[in-house]
Amino acid sequence: MTKVPKKIQFMKFSGAGNDFIVVDNRKRVVDPGKMSAFVASVCTQHLSVGADGLIFIEKAPKAHFRWRFYNNDGGEADFCGNGARCVARFAYLKGIAPKKMRFEGAAGVVEAVVDGESVTVSVPDPTDLRLSIRLDIPPHRRRKTDLTAPSQRSSIVMTFEGHAVDTGVPHFVYFVHDISTAEVIGIGHQIRDHEAFKPAGTNVDFVEVVDRGTIRIRTYERGVEDETLACGSGAIASALVAAVIHKVESPVSVVPLSRRPMTVSFRKDGNRFADVSLTGEARAVYEGEMYPDAWEYKLR
């Protein structure tokens, strides 16, 4: 008799351009000790399901559930704004939680409200706001994704001044005049690994202020190690720093590379923030079953 291989059910979501795999792991279909390797395999584009990240739902005694978020390199992160919205909609669609819910994570308790494809998450207050950080960036090494010709790249050290804040995960916010010309990958990679942010590194947001209620953003994401179409925690970080530096006012419309806008709302008292929330789409793209081929290929 042929043995039927173990299959793992999942759903795929898109949150403003970030795509995530969500797995209900309340019955431990994936061993917690093997999660990192599992994620790195399953999130690999072309060879498996492919995604920016993977989210596991687990049991929680004092909330509707607990979530664990992993970047696609297999590294666990404390928070992801777009991922939080997607896991909330997953929980509602699967009957795990009502439209208004609470779920626990490494960054604290998140409250969410599901309204069709739109989800609002109320997030823990930001921490570690540091303004006017000056970073010296040496000429960056050419990467496969850097299309700049050698003759066009600077050979001198450049200084960048930006601002840091932790919105569940660390971000460095750098304001530019034209987001379309920002060297997100080359410079973002250098800042991500800069001495000032070791050992964990940081996400890097390039931000253009359009008006008092709108900003555009492009993000180099730690863990993905590339520019992504959107970043929820980056949207929050950029809106809050823009409120301090450029007097942007709540609610702020944040337009990422995907052009799928998110809204960041907050209450500001000087350089302190409270009642921070993020609203945006959390589209359920498809659901299915993964065969062992999806995660075992790296072991062969």
Catalytic, out of 231, 236, 241, 243? 231
Q: State residue 276 phi and psi, 5-degree precision.
A: -85, 130
How many angstroms separate the Cα of 2 from the Cα of each of 5, 8, 106, 205? 9, 19, 42, 51
Catalytic, out of 55, 77, 80, 191? 80
DSSP letters for 77-122: ES--HHHHHHHHHHHHHTTSS-SEEEEEETTEEEEEEEETTEEEEE
Answer yes or no: are the C-beta atoms of 38 and 30 closer than 8 Å. Answer: yes
Q: Tell me how long the chain is.
A: 300
| Residue 181 CA to its chain's centroid (Å) | 22
Rounded Cα gap, residues 120 and 108, in angstroms: 16
Catalytic site residue 231?
yes
Answer yes or no: are the C-beta atoms of 123 and 110 closer than 8 Å. Answer: yes
Catalytic site residue 86?
no
Eight-state DSSP code of residue 288: E
Which residues form the catalytic set? Answer: 80, 231
